Structure 1
Amino acid sequence: MPATDSLITPTVVPFQYELTTVNVPAQVDQPQIVVRQGESGVQILETERWASPLSDEVRSALRHHLRLQMGRADSAGVARDSGLQNASIQVDIRRLEMVPGHYALIEAIWSLRNTRGAGPRRSLSCTSVIRQEATAEMSALVLAHQQLIRELSVRIVQTVIPWMASSDYACPN
């Protein structure tokens, strides 16, 4: 799922981060690609598959894009620099739709927590709804899905960097 990124940050962020949780709706979290059909139906495409369950694909793509944009790898499960603050990132995807010939859409609530370093512990929760137009071809739907995940990572990075620097920073509108 990771694609080439053009928004590579030239410097490394002055804090560590870990992507702790990525939740995906159960109805789409499987190896087969699931598309919306009509107003309320879904169709499981038995011959069109992700490389792994969708939650794994999304987590991997988010981790990749965060690393490229923040100039450092996810610190989950590795020794941390005790002199650096740490941001914990949790992502709860509430809706993930692919509608052939129309669009792909993601609605996510993502939370940040300052879990290490000087100062009080604090947290911030934000919501993102992102829509990408797509044709009916499967390759276009998958590309739109990849662009949604990349855009979600951009929104997280554009929030976590100033938020870690200032406790006054709030979610963008």
Structure 2
Amino acid sequence: MMKRLTMLVTLAAAATVMMNGCASPEPHYYTLAGSRSDAAPAVTGRTSRSGAPLWIEVTPVRVPERLNRIQLVVRDGTSGGVTLSDTSRWTSPLPNELRDALSQQLQSSLDAVDVYQHGLPAAQPAFRVTTDVVALDADVGKRAAATIAWTVRRLPDGKVLSGRTETEVPAPGQLEGVVNAYREILAATAADIAAGVQSLNR
């Protein structure tokens, strides 16, 4: 009886070791938005032409379908294709990550208030920002590049200013380097959009 019990204990221990050995690694999550301390204030902004606070409305960012997923998508350096990393993921779908990061950058640089999802204040001028990611890709350990088309529309008169930001930056290291490179790309895009808002706000 004792011999049989010992065998069962041994088998159970072996099964536990095998299960632990086959367990998938926990995913690591990344975000493009800054921390709360980096975010712009939620009230009071630079005044517009009418003397009211500067209101902006940063709409969801459109991305190519192959990027519209929770996993990070990077180039495969061996085959020339792309790979999805199941263990490296965004904290939210990439369009949301891009929108939130752009919103933070624009609120900070323009000292503005983003009213997306809150509705525009009645009869107040605002600037609606729309963006399309034409291309966004990275070679891990090498570089990241993007082409982002954007439009700023002044409300309520509808005057429009459009532009395109094309950026390539180094992405040293592993996927953390890619995420940091994407943040640099978004900062450059936000700077171009902010200049467009200021041009329409004169």
Aligned counterparts of 2:189 and 2:34: Cα–Cα separation in 1:
14
* Corresponding residue number in structure 1 for 2:18: none
1:12 aligned to 2:12?
Answer: no
Question: Which of the pair has more CA radius of gyration?
Answer: 2
Return the structure number with greater strand share.
1
Return the structure number with greater helix share.
2
Residues 113-155 of structure 1 show CA distances to partners (whole Å, capped at 9, x for unaligned) of 1122xxx432121111011111241111111111111221111
How far apart are residue 23 of structure 1 and its match? 0.5
1:64 aligned to 2:101?
Answer: no
2:60 and 2:96 in contact (8 A); partners too:
no
* Corresponding residue number in structure 2 for 1:22: 61
Distance change in 2, residues 1:103/1:71 (3 Å): same
* Corresponding residue number in structure 2 for 1:53: 93
Counterpart pick for 2:132 among 72, 92, 104: 92
1:18 and 1:86 in contact (8 A); partners too:
yes
1:21 and 1:89 in contact (8 A); partners too:
no
Question: What is the TM-score of this pair, normalised by structure 2?
Answer: 0.71
Aligned counterparts of 1:13 and 1:130: Cα–Cα separation in 2:
30
Amino acid at match of 1:77: Q
How far apart are residue 27 of structure 1 and its match? 0.7
Counterpart pick for 1:3 among 15, 24, 34: 34
Counterpart pick for 1:36 among 53, 60, 75: 75
RMSD, aligned α-carbons: 2.4
2:61 and 2:132 in contact (8 A); partners too:
yes
Aligned sequence identity (%): 23
2:67 alignment partner, SS class: coil
Amino acid at match of 2:46: V
Question: What is the TM-score of this pair, normalised by structure 1?
Answer: 0.82
1:111 aligned to 2:151?
Answer: yes
1:44 alignment partner, SS class: strand
2:140 and 2:174 in contact (8 A); partners too:
yes
1:98 and 1:105 in contact (8 A); partners too:
yes
* Corresponding residue number in structure 2 for 1:155: 192
Amino acid at match of 1:18: E
Of the structure 1 ranges 78-87 and 28-37, higher mean CA displacement relative to structure 2 is found in 78-87
2:56 and 2:126 in contact (8 A); partners too:
yes
